[in-house]
Structure 1
């Protein structure tokens, strides 16, 4: 399926899409592309880790990380 867009136009559409998606995730909201995938943010608590070089204990701050979960239609297409 062709949309009739030039490469620069398609690049602009992709940039707008990914910028909006990043802004949505930064606000803590979920992004879902039906049948393809969903993106969401997981919050991790602070914990004590170790520096692998020195073995010294290090405090790791709490953080939020983006996660990707593929949809059932994508699974089926890849497995076919």
Structure 2
């Protein structure tokens, strides 16, 4: 699902809200998640999951096309761990509209 589809589904479920307001709310939530993770923090949404940052150490890699070895710099990447409720719902196979 893309952001515009998410906004549209929320508007359909909450017809008293304007689409522009829902778009602003969804954008604000996503921006706050990104900012929280960018600061190296952990963003937790009970019943949904946890966004966090995991470091990756510098290492020597290999270009598979040329076989050349190269140095890969240390970096950080975002990690998402789904909550138990999400795992249970996925394993039951339930999909709601």
SS at match of 1:54: coil
Please, which runs of 5 or more residues in structure 2 have no aligned partner?
1-12, 93-97
Partner Cα separation in structure 2 for residue 79 and residue 47 of structure 1? 37
SS at match of 2:53: strand
Give the alignment's Cα RMSD to 1 decimal.
Answer: 1.4
Partner Cα separation in structure 2 for residue 4 and residue 73 of structure 1? 29
In proportion to residue count, which structure has more strand? 1
Partner Cα separation in structure 2 for residue 15 and residue 29 of structure 1? 19
In proportion to residue count, which structure has more helix? 2
Q: TM-score, normalised on structure 2? A: 0.77
Pair 1:36 & 2:45 matched: no
Please, which runs of 5 or more residues in structure 1 have no aligned partner?
none
Q: TM-score, normalised on structure 1? A: 0.92
Q: Tell me the matched-pair count.
A: 80
Runs in 1 of length 4+ with deviation above 4 angstroms? none
**1:70 is matched with which residue?**
82
Return the structure number with greater relative CO, CA threshold 8 A, min gap 6. Answer: 1
The structural deviation recorded for 1:35 is 1.2
